[in-house]
């Protein structure tokens, strides 16, 4: 499920990555036991208690979304769609575009080895998303890393230019920070350390390019992840975001096959059957 890429270094020691790192941090957890108190309050003839004794287990995201969908029609009795028929149930949801029930299940990933250009595109996805991103004001140059695009890694001249550029950027960052600390010495000494650090770093980061690594912790619900896979794991997406999007979608396929199983390889991209559920 998780992928940790190698960290490379230039001859001068500037660290960089060539692939995204993807770590699944959190999946839904469903507690069906509590449902009995609700279902037992209905007329016993309706047979609603049948729901909690369904013999087929589903992965947690599918269990949760099926429960949410079946609440809509109080479909808890023996004639309901059983867990064994969950695939048919969700195919119907996907085909009819009733995607709101997919919003109950959330998955969280740590994604690193991605650059600032990638995260700038990623954070445009708003509906159903939560983000935490490394602060370039709080974190100084000591943890600075870069991301090399596949086309640069594939060509000796572009690779040489890349290494030269990131060495220069790392050096310039330190030079700017050192100069600011010198010329604003008194002002910085008079403020809380944390504010002083931000004041220096926010200026120093100006010399960093889109190639700067920008790790994210990102949470989204199933409906939002599906839309993301459709837009960003597609052939038309920039390789910078397509590669982590494909890796995340593959991880989600393992966690919730009924929701993400439709995303099939399409060259180095993915393609799904349903549009914008
Ligand atoms: C190949 C590609 C090229 C792109 N090029 C550019 C570009 O040149 N310039 C640029 O600025 N952006 C560009 N984008 C970004 C794109 O326009 C979207 O901002 C981004 O993909 C987020 O998708 P989304 O709008 O569907 O938002 P999401 O937050 O993922 O929302 C999902 C869906 O929810 C609904 N929704 C969300 N918010 C609202 C709202 N406020 N009101 C009504 N409905 C809402 C919409 O139906 C939306 O599609 C590009 C995206 C791709 C994939």
What does the pLDDT look like over 193-246, one tens digit per residue? Answer: 999 999 999 999 999 999 999 999 999 999 999 999 999 999 999 999 999 999
Q: Give the position of tokens 């100084």.
A: 140
The per-residue DSSP string of 89-108 comes to HHHHHHHHT-GGGGGG-EEE
The answer, yes or no, to whether any atom of ligand 1 lies below 6 A from the CB of 245, is no
For the chain, percent of residues with pLDDT exceeding 70: 100
Whether 274 shows a pLDDT value over 90: the answer reads: no
Q: Can you give the pLDDT at residue 254?
A: 95
Task: Indicate the DSSP class of residue 2.
Answer: -
Average pLDDT, the chain: 96
Neighbours of 206 (CB within 10 A): 10
Which one from 80, 145, 226, 232 is the annotated catalytic residue? Answer: 232
Alpha helix positions (H), the chain: 35-39, 60-72, 86-96, 116-122, 150-153, 156-183, 185-189, 193-204, 222-232, 239-255, 257-260
Q: Can you give the pLDDT at residue 17?
A: 98
Q: Can you give the pLDDT at residue 1?
A: 74
| Adjacency order of strands within the sheet including 15-17 | 7-9, 15-17, 146-147
The answer, yes or no, to whether any atom of ligand 1 lies below 6 A from the CB of 127, is yes
Atom of ligand 1 nearest to the CA of 121: 15
Which residues touch 38 (CB under 8 Å, ≥6 apart)?
A: none
The answer, yes or no, to whether any atom of ligand 1 lies below 6 A from the CB of 125, is yes
Mean pLDDT, to the nearest integer, of 96-122? 97
Residue 5 burial (CB < 10 Å; 0-12/13-18/19+)? middle
Burial code of 220-250, b = ≥16 C-beta within 10 A, e = fewer? bbbbbbbbbbbbbbbeebeebbbbbbbbbbb
The alpha carbons of the chain give a radius of gyration, in whole angstroms, of 24
The answer, yes or no, to whether any atom of ligand 1 lies below 6 A from the CB of 88, is no
Annotation says 232 is catalytic? yes
Convert the pLDDT of each residue in 32-56 to its tens digit.
889 999 999 999 999 999 999 999 9
Q: Can you give the pLDDT at residue 233?
A: 97
Neighbours of 169 (CB within 10 A): 19
The answer, yes or no, to whether any atom of ligand 1 lies below 6 A from the CB of 237, is yes
For atom 8 of ligand 1, which residue has the closest CA?
Answer: 121
Residue 224's Cβ-side half-sphere holds a number of Cα atoms within 13 Å equal to 19
Atom of ligand 1 nearest to the CA of 236: 1
Ligand 1 pocket test: pick from 97, 120, 127 the residue with the most ligand atoms within 8 Å of its Cβ. 127
Mean pLDDT, to the nearest integer, of 125-134? 97
How far does residue 224's CA lie from ligand 1's centre (Å)?
A: 11
Q: How far apart are CA 55 and CA 177, in angstroms?
A: 63
How far does residue 187's CA lie from ligand 1's centre (Å)?
A: 43
Q: Can you give the pLDDT at residue 277?
A: 85
How far does residue 204's CA lie from ligand 1's centre (Å)?
A: 31
| pTM for the structure as a whole | 0.95
Q: Can you give the pLDDT at residue 58?
A: 95
For atom 46 of ligand 1, which residue has the closest CA?
Answer: 127
Residue 141: which pLDDT band, with cuts at 50, 70 and 90? Answer: very high
Mean pLDDT, to the nearest integer, of 87-99? 93
Q: Can you give the pLDDT at residue 29?
A: 95
């Amino acid at each position: 499920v998780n992928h940790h890429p190698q960290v490379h270094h230039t001859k001068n020691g500037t660290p960089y990555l060539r692939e995204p790192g993807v770590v699944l941090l959190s999946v839904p957890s469903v507690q069906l036991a509590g449902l009995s108190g609700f279902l037992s309050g209905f007329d016993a003839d309706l047979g609603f208690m049948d729901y909690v004794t369904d013999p087929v287990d589903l992965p947690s995201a599918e269990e949760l979304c099926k429960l949410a969908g079946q609440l809509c029609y109080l479909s808890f009795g023996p004639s309901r769609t059983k867990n064994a028929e969950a695939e048919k149930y969700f195919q119907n949801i996907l085909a009819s575009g009733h995607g709101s029930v997919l919003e109950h299940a959330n998955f969280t990933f740590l994604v690193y080895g991605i650059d600032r250009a990638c995260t700038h595109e990623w954070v445009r996805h708003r509906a159903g998303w939560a983000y935490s991103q490394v602060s370039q004001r709080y974190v100084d140059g000591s943890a600075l890393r870069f991301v090399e695009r596949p086309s640069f890694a594939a060509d000796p001249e572009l690779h040489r230019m890349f290494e030269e550029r990131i060495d220069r950027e790392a050096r310039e960052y330190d030079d700017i920070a050192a100069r600011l600390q010198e010329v604003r010495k008194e002002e910085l000494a008079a403020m809380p350390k944390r504010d002083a650090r931000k004041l220096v770093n926010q200026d120093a980061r100006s010399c960093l390019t889109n190639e700067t690594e920008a790790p994210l912790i990102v949470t989204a619900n199933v409906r939002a992840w599906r839309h993301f896979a459709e837009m960003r794991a597609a052939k038309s997406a920039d390789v910078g975001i397509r590669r982590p999007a494909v890796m995340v979608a593959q991880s989600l396929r393992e966690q919730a096959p009924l929701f993400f199983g439709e995303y099939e390889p399409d060259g180095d991209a993915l393609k799904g059957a349903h549009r914008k559920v």
